[in-house]
A and B are shown apart, each in its own frame.
Chain A
Amino acid sequence: MAEGLTIQAVEIRKGDHPLIALDRNVPPGTVLTVMGPSGVGKSTLLSYLIGTLDPAFTARGRVILNGRDVTDLPTARRGMGILFQDDLLFPHLSVGGNLAFGLAGGDRAARRERIAAALDEVGLAGFEDRDPATLSGGQRARVSLMRMLLADPYALLLDEAFSRLDAARRESTRAMVFDTARARSLPVVMVTHDADDAAAAAGPVIRLGDPAR
């Protein structure tokens, strides 16, 4: 079985209208960039991969993650992390509380230690008790990334994850995400409409909605 994320003969339709057809392997540490104009179904592909496809769509094919068929598993057991263009930190929890939500197991002291270390890793040491609403956009994006990584995913999905950030933050956040994915050998599927994102990913690019396809 191939390592990484395998999208095996996947076809997504809306009624009789075929939307997406894809057959690809994303090796560990590689970013597959999916581009295309809005409305072509880029985000639909991600919602299929993560297991939240709207019932209005029908899908065929398999999703295999490191040799494990996750097609029929609920989102919570797929082992995939996702980042949206909004950081979606839970507003009722503190920064530390958000990270703790993603962290499984461990006793109290060990959990606290890992959270402190995670915050330190993204330059936010001592932010545990802060209200996420008081953080800057770039800080929130970093907390969001760390929250996802603390859940120990086997793959990353990025849904226009950098499009809300301004140019300077965008570059650094992007670099941090890609470096982390490479360091942990995680396969990444990134949906974007920005050519810079695709260039920075330095991986294979597929375009949806091209007349040729």
Chain B
Amino acid sequence: MLLAMLGPVAAGLWGALLPAMGHLPAAGFIGPSLEAWSPLGAWPGLGDSIRLSLVTGLLATLISLAIVTLIVAGWWGTRPYNWIERALSPLLSVPHAAAALGLAFLIAPSGWLARLASPGITGWDRPPDWLIPGDPWGLSLTAGLVAKEVPFLLLMTLAALGQVRARAMLISAQAMGYGRIAAWLKVVFPAVYAQIRLPVFVVLAYSMSVVDMALILGPSTPATLSVQIVRWMSDPDLSMRLVASAAALLQLALVLVALAAWRGGEIALRRWGIAWATGGGRGAMLDPLRPLGLGLGGLSALAVLGGIAAMALWSVAAGWRFPDALPEALTARSWMRHADGLGAAVGDTALVALVAVALAVALTVGCLEAEFRRGRPIGRAGIWLLYLPLIVPQTAFLPGLQTLLLRLGADRGALPVIAAHLVFVLPYVFLSLGDPWRAWDTRQATVGAALGASPGRVFLRVRLPMLLRPILVAAAVGAAVSVGQYLPTLLIGGGRVATLTTEAVALASGGDRRAIGVYALAQTGAALLPFALATLLPLALWRNRRGLHG
């Protein structure tokens, strides 16, 4: 299991190290030399792209964490909070690329928002010439990242709340006269943050190095460092691979610096926070912020859902002139025109996702069952190793991995792509299944064994059926992760594996909104379908078993 996850990461970093030292015999470069670093240093966009990566990454993480904290601090345990919780799974499963495309459909000068407001409010007859999305400050990109990372951090916070006795702490602090938000920040947040630190690191590393969202929402001259790495990687001039490898290492260093800075911020804030928490102030003036939390959370959900609605509308729009709020007529023409390409992309997407998820679930279940039989749970080090492939930026090790595979001649077919997907699918499946698996009442196993059943029979006949629902949910999470993968498919597949995601992102640079709508919607559907199955299948299978419907 560790090999499947960490092997490619280590191999990829190694594969980036050699070319970065100017060593790439396949292209006639024998190192060590500075062949890789001097063009990188000479690239005029370097400073801007580094700044963009740092600023969008840190800002998106900070804002997402702030929104999530405000939502749970202000609303946890209330009725609106239950609505938010219900919207979580579908929001989470929307692939990053689809969310980014949807946001672009909303906020572009000719997007749906401008259409809804024009010409009535804005007075526009034609879209203004604004650089949105793609603004040079990366604000559109940051907004897109926030919309996708808020549901993720919220889910992680929910899981963490199961581990701390939040309700009792919250009530006792409120009984001492603390305002709701202040009580949360002072007594619950520290315990929760300790649990979600690694997911926050994942968000930071991801936001700094994301490629598909940055291609769609980010600026282009210069682009973020990660986008530039991918451009160099796809340059026909092989010497550019040296530059890409050097930039990949730079990207890794950037993420490490940002993580260290974040850690430093944590320590400083902790010192200040302890003084604040023990200062005795009841913080009642913070509670007016409650609507803000709900509003921002709702806005980020609307940005995703509204974007999907806009894409759905475009995919069936006949004619749609600018200031009109709605298309003139609806037609299935776009769907029929793209049916062939769509079918092929669905096939590739499903093949890669099914195999990767099947492998991930099998490895995870095997690992968890072994852990149970040995009676020793995974330690802190194990958790870190699980998160490692999610924290090392994709752009840092995938280019090296591709170069390595190329040299080995193993860059053919779907298998390498599946292996690359597995690196990312596996940790999510493991994290998703781990808690419910361990929460299972092990006395059931004792009873089964006392009835004469072997460990294998207990596993197959008792544990697996009882845990069917969480297993299916973990598989759905894995499938959504696989469907959403852009960079591994693009780089490792070398263009020969075309999934819905790579097709949708490829279309993004063109202006065909109908085609984008069709592919992005299909991509969203492909990520959502497994969740629907994971909900409905146990309902159907266990329809006469009330004890399994919590």
Pick the interface stretch among B182-190, B220-228, B301-309, B540-548: B540-548
User: Which of chain B's residues have a CB closer than 8 A to the CB of A80?
Assistant: 450
A90 within 8 A of B: yes
Q: Do residues B548 and A91 form an inter-chain contact, with CB atoms below 8 A?
A: yes
Complex CA distance for A36 and B184, rounded to whole angstroms: 40
A side interface size, CB within 8 A: 33
Complex CA distance for A86 and B398, rounded to whole angstroms: 51
B465 within 8 A of A: yes
A85 to chain B: closest residue by CB: B443
What string of 1s and 0s marks CB contacts (under 8 Å) between B370-406 and chain A?
0000111000000000000000000000000000000
User: Which of chain A's residues have a CB closer than 8 A to the CB of B446?
Assistant: 47, 50, 52, 75, 82, 84
Pick the interface stretch among A11-19, A116-124, A145-153, A200-208: A145-153
Q: Do residues A91 and B449 form an inter-chain contact, with CB atoms below 8 A?
A: no
A131 within 8 A of B: yes
B441 within 8 A of A: yes
B453 within 8 A of A: yes
A61 within 8 A of B: no
B375, B443, B451, B545: most-surrounded residue (chain A CB, <10 A): B451
Distance (whole angstroms) from the CB of A158 to the closest CB of chain B: 12
Q: Do residues A92 and B450 form an inter-chain contact, with CB atoms below 8 A?
A: no
B462 within 8 A of A: yes
B443, B450, B455, B461: most-surrounded residue (chain A CB, <10 A): B450
B38 within 8 A of A: no
Tell me the A47-66 residues at the B interface (CB within 8 Å): 47, 50-52, 54-55
Tell me the B338-354 residues at the A interface (CB within 8 Å): none
B82 within 8 A of A: no
Complex CA distance for A47 and B542, rounded to whole angstroms: 32
Q: Do residues B375 and A55 form an inter-chain contact, with CB atoms below 8 A?
A: yes
What string of 1s and 0s marks CB contacts (under 8 Å) between A123-158 and chain B?
000000001111000000000000110010100000
User: Which of chain A's residues have a CB closer than 8 A to the CB of B375?
Assistant: 54-55
Q: Do residues B443 and A92 form an inter-chain contact, with CB atoms below 8 A?
A: no
Q: Do residues B451 and A148 form an inter-chain contact, with CB atoms below 8 A?
A: yes
With contact pairs A50-B446, A50-B450 given, residues A92 and B546 touching in the complex (Cβ less than 8 Å): no
User: Which of chain A's residues have a CB closer than 8 A to the CB of B451?
Assistant: 81, 101-102, 147-148, 151
Complex CA distance for A190 and B67, rounded to whole angstroms: 54
Q: B444, B454, B545, B548: which contacts A88 (Cβ < 8 A)?
A: B444
Q: Do residues B453 and A101 form an inter-chain contact, with CB atoms below 8 A?
A: yes
Q: Do residues B453 and A76 form an inter-chain contact, with CB atoms below 8 A?
A: yes
A150 to chain B: closest residue by CB: B451
Q: Do residues A131 and B546 form an inter-chain contact, with CB atoms below 8 A?
A: yes
Q: B450, B454, B461: which contacts A82 (Cβ < 8 A)?
A: B450
Complex CA distance for A91 and B376, rounded to whole angstroms: 27
Provide the main secondary structure of the chain B interface.
Answer: helix
Q: Do residues B449 and A84 form an inter-chain contact, with CB atoms below 8 A?
A: no
A153 to chain B: closest residue by CB: B450
A37 within 8 A of B: no
Complex CA distance for A151 and B468, rounded to whole angstroms: 26
B447 to chain A: closest residue by CB: A88
A74 within 8 A of B: yes
Distance (whole angstroms) from the CB of A189 to the closest CB of chain B: 13
User: Which of chain B's residues have a CB closer than 8 A to the CB of A134?
Assistant: 546
Q: Do residues A91 and B450 form an inter-chain contact, with CB atoms below 8 A?
A: no
Interface range, B side: 20 to 34
B17 within 8 A of A: no
User: Which of chain B's residues have a CB closer than 8 A to the CB of A1?
Assistant: none
Q: B449, B453, B547: which contacts A132 (Cβ < 8 A)?
A: B547
Q: B376, B466, B468, B548: which contacts A55 (Cβ < 8 A)?
A: B376
User: Which of chain B's residues have a CB closer than 8 A to the CB of A76?
Assistant: 449-450, 452-455
Q: B443, B454, B545: which contacts A91 (Cβ < 8 A)?
A: B545
Complex CA distance for A50 and B445, rounded to whole angstroms: 12
Complex CA distance for A132 and B542, rounded to whole angstroms: 12
Q: B448, B454, B455: which contacts A101 (Cβ < 8 A)?
A: B448
Q: A50, A75, A86, A131: which contacts B545 (Cβ < 8 A)?
A: A131
A52, A74, A94, A148: most-surrounded residue (chain B CB, <10 A): A52
Distance (whole angstroms) from the CB of A188 to the closest CB of chain B: 14
Complex CA distance for A54 and B443, rounded to whole angstroms: 12
Complex CA distance for A54 and B453, rounded to whole angstroms: 20
Tell me the B422-450 residues at the A interface (CB within 8 Å): 441, 443-450
A104 within 8 A of B: yes
Complex CA distance for A62 and B375, rounded to whole angstroms: 22
User: Which of chain A's residues have a CB closer than 8 A to the CB of B448?
Assistant: 90, 101
User: Which of chain B's residues have a CB closer than 8 A to the CB of A77?
Assistant: 452
Complex CA distance for A147 and B453, rounded to whole angstroms: 13
Q: A86, A131, A132, A151: which contacts B450 (Cβ < 8 A)?
A: A151
User: Which of chain A's residues have a CB closer than 8 A to the CB of B547?
Assistant: 89, 91-92, 131-133
User: Which of chain B's residues have a CB closer than 8 A to the CB of A94?
Assistant: 544
Known: A81-B450, A92-B548. 8 other contacts (CB 8 A): A50-B450, A74-B455, A76-B454, A86-B443, A88-B444, A101-B461, A102-B452, A104-B452
> Can you report 17 residue pairs joining A to B where beta carbons are below 8 Å apart?
A47-B446, A55-B375, A74-B454, A74-B455, A76-B450, A76-B453, A80-B450, A82-B447, A82-B450, A84-B447, A91-B466, A92-B542, A92-B545, A92-B548, A101-B448, A104-B452, A131-B544
The 10 lowest CB-CB distance pairs between A and B, nearest first, are: A91-B547, A75-B449, A133-B547, A133-B546, A102-B451, A92-B465, A151-B451, A76-B449, A55-B375, A82-B450
Q: Which residue numbers of A lie inside 8 Å of B, CB to CB? A: 47, 50-52, 54-55, 74-78, 80-82, 84, 86, 88-92, 94, 101-102, 104, 131-134, 147-148, 151, 153
